[in-house]
Amino acid sequence: MESQVDVLIVGGGLAGSLTALKFAIAKPELKLLLIESSGKLGGNKTWSFHESDLTEDQLSWIKPMVARSWKSTRVQFPRLDRTIDVGYHSFRSEDLHSYVTERLGESVMLETEVDKVSEHKVYLKNGEIIEAHLVLDARGIDYVPTPKLNGFQKFIGFDLLLEEPHGLESPVIMDATCPQLEGFRFFYLLPWDANRLLIEETFYSDTPDLNRERISRSILSYAERKGWKVKKVEREETGVLPIPMTAYYIPNSHTGEAIPIGTRGGYFHATTGYSLADAARFADLLLASPTYATGAVRESLMKSRRKWLSKQRFYRMLNRFLFYASEPSLRYQVLQHFYEQPQEVVERFYGGRTTWSDRLRILSGRPPVPLNKALKSLTERSVQARFGGPQ
Ligand SMILES: Cc1cc2nc3c(=O)[nH]c(=O)nc-3n(C[C@H](O)[C@H](O)[C@H](O)COP(=O)(O)OP(=O)(O)OC[C@H]3O[C@@H](n4cnc5c(N)ncnc54)[C@H](O)[C@@H]3O)c2cc1C
């Protein structure tokens, strides 16, 4: 087949951009194209990750985008205040956009909407067809998450400019000392510089609805309670991430189709909803294929995909414990118990590398889960039978 392009990635969000970046670095001889419908890569988000989520090599090619790094983070619960001594890094969509567009140059095609994708062809809305040896579909989540088969991690964040320094040295990834509303509720604090701070109010909730007005007031009154005078709200971001109970959201990758990557392929941590580590991991796996044609790459991904699927099963079970078996106002206790574990257990959890002994530790102790409810939530099949499949 006479292809115009070697590797064509549709969707310039986090996964599409990171995968394109990795190809550009590792295989500069390949003709690469990244197509994004909007005028900017990455949307409007702040991405954070623990240093231990990534390998050294992954850190080396992702770190140039990082806007701010810290040596540790903190979590606060009613009976736990703990510092986690692992590096933490954050960057925003604009950091991703400027770095990736600079590195990729003409390989980035913005403001181009794709209508359809197949194994070797991409059909643009303007009628143009582009052929490629390898087509990756990174257009983001393509289903409406069904409540009951999903919980939701929903949040609104404000980047605040303060009148005076806030005094925080490191991020607080969970301040759950607040009243527990709508399930598990906490504030997330990212100190960009002495006077700038991202405050996000987050809920692990049964519903996807966000009351923007109420949450805005609540973020500002949280700042006030801390003694921080707000000069200006410089930026706002919103997220509603599905927290799945069963595997239905993970599509199979079929012959004749492009390979779904990123959240399109279901590749995110089922409990945290985060996808950066998986995006980096799968970029490496794609690169490790002996040849770069869609069919061959699909085949070569199979083994690692099976391993990844098996790890995710545990996180979905934890979600069922959290959402089905524990009282919404006591969900925080499951997380509090988790953060009492040794640091390596916490690191492996975030990185999606939880071991069998970690699982026992996380589920042991006295979580606020009555045994009969826990047993009912145990299998995906029982949940599917109770709530039915996605509509
Ligand atoms: C506010 C927010 C903060 C988050 N923070 C973190 C975090 O700190 N750490 C973390 O790991 N995860 C985080 N996540 C979760 C997850 O990592 C992100 O949602 C991530 O952006 C998902 O990446 P993706 O590439 O799979 O999908 P998306 O980022 O949704 O990208 C899909 C892209 O495809 C484009 N597209 C869609 N349709 C077409 C089309 N027809 N033609 C062309 N282009 C198209 C879209 O415009 C978009 O740019 C966050 C999510 C949100 C919403």
Which residues pair with residue 48 across a beta bridge? 90
Instruction: Measure 370 CA to ligand 1 centroid, in angstroms.
Output: 36
Structure token digits, residue 273: 């909803």
Q: Computed from CA positions of residues 269, 272, 277, 283, in that sequence, does the dihedral angle turn out positive or negative?
A: positive
Give the containing element (helix H, strand E) for 33.
strand 32-35
Helix and strand counts by DSSP (H, E) for the chain: 11, 17
Atom 53 of ligand 1 has which residue's CA nearest to it?
239
122, 135 Cβ separation under 8 angstroms: yes
Instruction: Measure 228 CA to ligand 1 centroid, in angstroms.
Output: 31
Structure token digits, residue 129: 């067809």
Structure token digits, residue 97: 């956009």
Q: What is the pLDDT of residues 308-320, one digit of tens each?
A: 998 899 999 999 9
DSSP code at position 63 = G
Q: Would you state the pLDDT for residue 363?
A: 84
- Helix axes 294-320 and 276-287, enclosed angle (nearest 10): 150
Cα-to-chain-centroid distance, residue 242: 10
Give the SS3 label for residue 115: strand
Structure token digits, residue 91: 């960057």
Q: What percent of the chain has pLDDT over 70?
A: 95
Q: Would you state the pLDDT for residue 127?
A: 95
Structure token digits, residue 126: 């303007």
Residues contacting ligand 1 via CB (< 6 Å): 10-16, 35-38, 43, 45-49, 113-114, 138-140, 237, 239, 241, 262-264, 273-276
Q: Which of 96, 139, 192 to mutate to test the pocket of ligand 1 (most atoms within 8 A of CB)?
A: 139
The residues, ordered by sequence, that sit 6+ positions from 69 with a Cβ below 8 Å of its Cβ are: 87, 88, 89, 90
Atom 12 of ligand 1 has which residue's CA nearest to it?
274
Query: For every one of its 391 residues, what pLDDT tens digit does the chain have, with 9 covering 90 and above?
Result: 445 899 999 999 999 999 999 999 999 999 999 999 999 999 999 999 999 999 999 999 999 999 999 999 999 999 999 999 999 999 999 999 999 999 999 999 999 999 999 999 999 999 999 999 999 999 999 888 888 889 999 999 999 999 999 999 999 999 999 999 889 999 999 999 999 999 999 999 999 999 999 999 999 999 999 999 999 999 999 999 999 999 888 988 889 999 999 999 999 999 999 999 999 999 999 999 999 999 999 999 988 888 899 889 999 999 998 888 888 888 899 899 999 999 999 999 999 999 999 998 888 866 556 666 666 666 777 777 777 765 4
Q: Which amino acid is located at 345 in the chain?
A: V
Give the SS3 label for residue 385: helix
Backbone angles phi, psi at 75, to 5 degrees: -125, 145
C-alpha count within 13 angstroms, C-beta hemisphere, residue 160: 27
Nearest-atom number in ligand 1 for the CA of 238 is 1
Nearest-atom number in ligand 1 for the CA of 112 is 43
Structure token digits, residue 268: 């995110």
Backbone angles phi, psi at 29, to 5 degrees: -75, -15
The residues, ordered by sequence, that sit 6+ positions from 344 with a Cβ below 8 Å of its Cβ are: none
Q: Would you state the pLDDT for residue 391?
A: 41
Backbone angles phi, psi at 351, to 5 degrees: -80, 0
Atom 41 of ligand 1 has which residue's CA nearest to it?
114
Q: Would you state the pLDDT for residue 272?
A: 96
Instruction: Measure 389 CA to ligand 1 centroid, in angstroms.
Output: 25
Atom 7 of ligand 1 has which residue's CA nearest to it?
47
Backbone angles phi, psi at 79, to 5 degrees: -125, 35
Nearest-atom number in ligand 1 for the CA of 262 is 26
C-alpha distance across the termini of the chain, in Å: 39
The residues, ordered by sequence, that sit 6+ positions from 338 with a Cβ below 8 Å of its Cβ are: 346, 349, 362
Nearest-atom number in ligand 1 for the CA of 42 is 49
Cα-to-chain-centroid distance, residue 76: 22
Nearest-atom number in ligand 1 for the CA of 41 is 49
Atom 30 of ligand 1 has which residue's CA nearest to it?
140
Instruction: Measure 80 CA to ligand 1 centroid, in angstroms.
Output: 33
CA distance 286 to 104: 18
CA distance 25 to 198: 32
Instruction: Measure 385 CA to ligand 1 centroid, in angstroms.
Output: 31
The residue length of the chain stands at 391
Structure token digits, residue 38: 């909007």
